[in-house]
Amino acid sequence: MAVGAFTVSCEKEYEEEITPNSQDQYLQVDLPQLNADRQKSNLPEINENLKDYILGKNAVEPSECAPTEFAAVQDVYLNPLINDLYSLFGQAQYANIFYLYMDLNFYSAYFDTSTDQYFGENGNYTQLVTKRQRELEKFWDMPNEVRINGQHTATLNDREKLADVYEIVGTGITTREQAYAAADQILYFNTFSDQLPDNPFFAIDGFATSANLIVIGDGIVQMLAEAGVEEEIVWTGILAHEWAHQVQFNNYGEWYPNGAADNAPEATRYTELEADFFAAYYMTHKRGATYNWKRVEQFFELFFQIGDCGFANAGHHGTPAQRMEAARLGYELANGTQKQGHILTEQELHDIFVEQIQEVIPAPGTAK
C-alpha cells in the first residue's frame, strides 16, 4: 500500500479542518509493529486487493473518467475516520495507526483457518455465500479447491484473534503473553474512538490468492450496497469475480506465458476485465447463478462502480465503462448460447475474451 501517498493527501485535506491538540493531549503510541519481512516472505501471490486501489483513488490522471457513487460513499466513511485518528494521535502517527488496523485485519482474515466462517456482520449472508461456493465449484469443476474467508471489523475487538496475528507477524513477539499485551493496546485505543474499530474501511479487503484462498470483507459489500447495488448481488458478484481469478491462477502459465501485458497497469486491467467477463458469464448462465434480465442491470452497476480512473497505477482495474462492457459481453455470451445447459470450458471462454477484448479496451489514441 502506498502509505506515503495516503499520508500526504490526508494531511493536505485535513490539516486546515482540525485544530490540533497540544502534543501531550494526544494518545501516546507505543504499539508493537508488524514485521514486514515475516509478513511477505511466505505469502502466496495475491492477484489484487480491492482495498489497495480504493485507498489509492486519489492518484488519478485527469480524464473524462468520472468518479462513481462508490467513491462518494467511501468518502462518507473515510473523512470522519481520518479526522478522528488525527485528533487522537496527531499528525505524526494517525496514518500509521490507520494502516496498522488495516494490516491487522488483513492478516487476521488471511491466516484464519477456522471452520466457523461467516459472511455479513451478523452472518446473514453465510447461507448465500455457501450456496454460491457450491455452485462455483460445480460450474468450474473445482470441487473443494477454494477456501473463502470473511473479514469483519469485530475481529479488531477480539483479543484472541488480535493475539493470533501478533504471534504470526508481530515484531519481536515470541510468546503468547507478549501477543496478548500487543492486543490489549489495540483494545485500549478502541475505547477512545467511535470509529475504532467499527468503521467499514477496516473490512474492505477483497482478494484471491494462488493458495486457493478468497477473502471478502463486510465493509466493501456494505459500501457497494450503499452506492446502489443490491447486497446479494454484491456478494455474488465479488465472489464470482475473485473465483475467476482462481481460474486464471490455474491457467496462468498457458494463458499469459509472457505476462498479460507489457506493463503493470495494462496487465492488471487485462486480467481484471477478463475476471469481470467470466463472472458475468457465471452469474447469468442457466447452470450458474441464473440471474435474469431484471437483475442484469444491477450487476452491470456493480462492475461499473468498482471501476477506477488510475490509468498509470499498477493496480488499475479498468474504467467504469470498460468494466461494464466486459460484464455485458459475458452476459450476452451466456444469454445467447443456444444450448443453455452447456457450459463453455475455461479455455473456450478465455479464447473468446481474447478475440473480443478490443471491444472493451480501445486501440491507442481512440476513446471508449
Instruction: Dump pLDDT digits (tens) for 144-176.
Output: 999 999 999 999 999 999 999 999 999 999 999
352 domain residue, yes or no: yes
d(CA 336, CA 340): 8
Question: Do 245 and 47 meet the contact criterion of CB atoms below 8 Å apart?
Answer: yes
Tally of domains in the chain: 1
In this predicted model, what pLDDT tens digit does every residue of 251-299 receive, in sequence order? 999 999 887 767 777 777 788 889 989 999 999 999 999 987 677 667 7
In this predicted model, what pLDDT tens digit does every residue of 237-247 receive, in sequence order? 999 999 999 99
1 domain residue, yes or no: no
Query: β-pairing, 206-209 with 213-217?
Result: antiparallel
Helix (H, G, I), strand (E, B) or coil at 360: coil
303, containing H or E segment: helix 293-305
128 domain residue, yes or no: yes
Question: Do 10 and 82 meet the contact criterion of CB atoms below 8 Å apart?
Answer: yes
285 domain residue, yes or no: yes
In this predicted model, what pLDDT tens digit does every residue of 91-137 receive, in sequence order? 989 999 999 999 999 999 999 999 999 999 999 999 999 999 999 99
d(CA 278, CA 141): 14
pLDDT greater than 70 at residue 53: no
pTM of the model: 0.85
d(CA 204, CA 221): 8
Write down the pLDDT at residue 18: 44
368 domain residue, yes or no: no
Instruction: Provide the 10 A C-beta neighbour count for residue 69.
Output: 16
166 domain residue, yes or no: yes
Question: Do 107 and 173 meet the contact criterion of CB atoms below 8 Å apart?
Answer: no
pLDDT greater than 60 at residue 368: no
At 311, the amino acid letter reads: F
- Structural domain including 104 reads 7-359
365 domain residue, yes or no: no
